[in-house]
Amino acid sequence: MKERIFSLLRFYAAFVVLQALQKPLFLFYAAEAPSRYGAGDVAQVVLHGLWLDAAVAGYLTAFPLLLLLLSLWARRFPLRAVLRPYIYLAVFASELAFVADAAIYPFWNYKLDATLLYYADSPADALSSVSPLFVAAGLALWVVLSLLFGHLVTRLMPRRLPDARRWVRSCRRVPALVVGFCCTAGLLFLAIRGGVGESTSNVGKVYYSGDLFLNHAAVNPAFSFLASLGKGDDFAARFDYFPEAERRALFEGLYPAREDSLSVSLLRTPRPDVLLIILEGFSGTFVEELGGLPGVAPNLGRLAREGVWFSNCYANSFRTDRGLVCALGGYLGLPDVSVMKVPAKSRTLPCLAGRLAEAGYDTDFIYGGDINFTNMQGYLRTGGYRQITADTDFPFALQQTGEWGVADEYVFARLLETMRERSANPPARPWHTAVLTLSSHEPFEVPFSRLEDKVPNSFAYTDSCLGDFIGRLRQLPVWENLLVVCVPDHGYYYPREGLSQSPRFFHIPMLWTGGAVRESRTVPLLMNQSDLPATLLAQMGLPYADFTFSRNVLGTAYRYPFAYYAYNNGMALRDSTGCTVFDNAAQAVIYEDSLSSPGEAASFPSRPAGMKEPSTPASALRLRRAKAILQSVYDDLGRR
């Protein structure tokens, strides 16, 4: 039995080592300036890349595990001969991914993924940029490496396994056999999953550096390719509601592309330090000033009267991974795709952090939870956040204070300490810090008990943490040149009555405060959280035209105020005439309301109008525009 266990371990370890050895080869071949990287960089790349190397090795070891289990009933099982074809097949596949990845990276500057399959119908076009000698050298390298490593891994396997039939027939051995098999399978599952934490194996899990190339070098190319297969759909072919000319006509003017003059200036200085606080799930249903429950968020209500209050802002989507891309990248929420999980697209999008970095800002991101969840770290690093603080950067005891990680009060305490350091030793460059809270999230267990219902109580907790933080921040010198922006990542369905796709659950607060704000005011314009990048950059005099779906709502070109949002397999559009919610699965309107005075979220009824066709010309136009927006954003997603 020991020989079988050791054979399995040797197989698994061989493939981990095989893939780890690919990292330094990739690093020094694909780097634009290999001399920049030393032994320490190589070690870090290999070490961080082990997460995905272990996952791929776990997948490959599943078949040998089953084979060894079957061998228990065979007499002197010829393991090497039986396993040899599988070993060579696995090695050939692994080395093919490595060689292809190293070959295309200098041209594409991103890791191997399903984009490669787009060229399957026209390989000549795909190879038009390289010489035949380059192709031949790549193929030769693939064959040589595959034969070499295939031979070495095969030699690690014993020719024959000892007869274990008598051992198996012994009744007292059966429990040990079952336990051993279950434990081994469980360990392989953990290796494939990526551990026991909330996040599973994903490309962003190995991202660790401000140097994007080092992050790419740590990514296992086979994993990157396989993970992208489910995301390699022809997005541009989805939701083709209109011929191109009609789509273009409907979409024209909805998202003004030109940079224009300001209708109002909100800031005292064009280059404030920028603190962005993203409030987990903080729907307007918990904000009295937006028609929500009274007494839940008194601090946010007080700050609304002291700063710039955007009273008609709507979330674009319904999950954190989607809402972050909307708020930071100015992209629209999608009904069935998380752009954060599609690196081939998300890495091409502009990001608020990247634009501010270009203007000379230092950038960092703070989150008390697992930064690898839903490829978050990969997106943030690519978007321009050079320094990231996550749960593992807090003391272990604090990591246990919330169900998802560090409770909000400790995250704000860490943030306040950073603000004190910057006040005592002012940085040489302006800075942008983004913070994502997490306590106001299921299961809503927080170290706070002001309200009986634990759902609003968790939001009251976050509000109290925010209020205390802002109160202390005001006393610091850093406040004088600071712009604080508070905006949720998405809304929350509470109370659970009526239709969850109703606009009342997508209505969110947005607040600008800080010493850099010129004066308090309310901005009642209909808008989305995705409009934050363009609106903020315009106030700072920075370019924003490449934020295709982000609008400067305080610009003279913003003549048709509306809010658009997507939920799981549906979308909605609200303008001054009302709101229409369309379900893609049902292919019908499931909610419709006409407004005489579109001011408050509370003016929306809690019950849907029922599935029907639009009943008025205004609602019919809303639906056509919503469909045109959905079609346009999927066309954009398909272009990558």
* Residues 406-460 pLDDT 10s: 999 999 999 999 999 999 999 999 999 999 999 999 999 999 999 999 999 999 9
Read off the pLDDT band of 178 (50, 70, 90): low
Q: In which band, very low, low, confident or very high, does the pLDDT at 272 lie, cut at 50, 70 and 90? A: very high
Q: Does the pLDDT value for residue 625 go beyond 60?
A: yes
- pLDDT reported for residue 193: 84
Once rounded to an integer, what is the mean pLDDT over residues 224-243? 81
pLDDT at residue 587, rounded to an integer: 83
Residues ≥6 apart with Cβ < 8 Å to 115: 108, 228, 232, 344, 640
Which pLDDT score is estimated for 165?
62
The dihedral region occupied by 145, where left means phi > 0, alpha psi between -120 and 50, and beta the remainder, is alpha
313 forms beta bridges with 508, 527
Inform me whether the pLDDT recorded for 34 exceeds 70: yes
Q: Is the pLDDT of residue 570 over 60?
A: yes
In this structure, is the dihedral angle defined by the CA atoms of residues 333, 335, 526 and 558, taken in order, positive or negative?
positive
Identity of residue 275: L
Q: How confident is the model over 66-88, as pLDDT tens digits?
A: 887 777 767 778 888 888 999 99
Give the contacts of 89 (CB within 8 A, at least 6 positions apart): none
Residue 355 identity = R
pLDDT tens digits, 605-618:
333 444 555 667 88
Local confidence band at 176 (pLDDT 50, 70, 90 cut-offs): low
Integer Cα distance of 217 and 624 in angstroms: 45
Model confidence over 531-540: pLDDT tens digits?
A: 999 999 999 9
Nearest 10 degrees: Cα torsion 132, 133, 138, 144: 130
Mean pLDDT lowest for which of 39-43, 161-165, 289-293, 511-515? Answer: 161-165
Helical (H) or strand (E) element with 583: strand 578-583
pLDDT interval class at 599 (50, 70, 90): very low
Q: In this structure, which amino acid lies at residue 601?
A: A
CB 586 within 8 A of CB 611: yes
Residues with Cβ within 8 Å of residue 284, at least 6 apart in sequence: 290, 291, 292, 491, 504, 507, 508, 509, 601
Determine the Cα–Cα distance for residues 307 and 311; give it in Å rounded to an integer: 12
Residue 365 pLDDT > 90, yes or no?
A: yes
Q: 123: buried, middle or exposed (CB in 10 Å: 19+, 13-18, 0-12)?
A: exposed
Average pLDDT in the chain: 88
Q: Which of 429, 464, 432, 430 is nearest to 446 (CA)?
A: 464
Per-residue pLDDT for 586 more than 80? no
| Range from 161-175, 218-232, 466-480, 601-615 carrying the lowest mean pLDDT | 601-615
| Bridge partner residues of 555 (DSSP) | 262
Q: What is the pTM of this model?
A: 0.82
The arithmetic mean of pLDDT across residues 184-208, rounded, is 81
Which pLDDT score, from 0 to 100, does residue 597 have? 38
pLDDT at 605: 37
Q: Which domains does the chain have, with CATH numbers?
A: 2-229 (no CATH), 271-554 (3.40.720.10)
- The pLDDT value given to residue 595: 65
Predicted local confidence at residue 82, as pLDDT:
87
Task: List, for residues 347-357, the tens digit of each pLDDT value.
Answer: 899 999 999 99
pLDDT at 580 over 90: yes
Tokens at 97, concatenated? 């991914």
